[in-house]
Amino acid sequence: MIINVTHRQDKVSPAVREKIESWLEHAQERFDMITSAQVTLSKHDHLDEVEAILHAGGKEVTAKAEGQNLYAALDAVSQKIDRQLDKMHGKMVHKKGLPKKEAFLVEPESAVPDEEIELEGYEDIDELLEKVS
pLDDT at 122 over 70: no
At a CB cut-off of 8 Å and minimum separation 6, what does 62 contact?
51, 52, 53, 54
Amino acid identity at 84: Q
- Return the domain boundaries, the chain: 2-93, 100-132
pLDDT 10s digits, 17-68:
999 999 999 999 988 889 999 999 999 889 999 999 999 888 999 999 999 9
What pLDDT was estimated at residue 23?
A: 93
Minimal CA–CA distance to 30: which of 64, 54, 53?
A: 54
| 72 vs 65: CA distance, rounded Å | 9
What global pTM score does this model have?
A: 0.67
The CATH number assigned to the domain with range 2-93 reads 3.30.160.100
pLDDT at 110 over 90: no
pLDDT at 131 over 80: no
What pLDDT was estimated at residue 80?
A: 96
- pLDDT confidence band for 114 (50 / 70 / 90): low
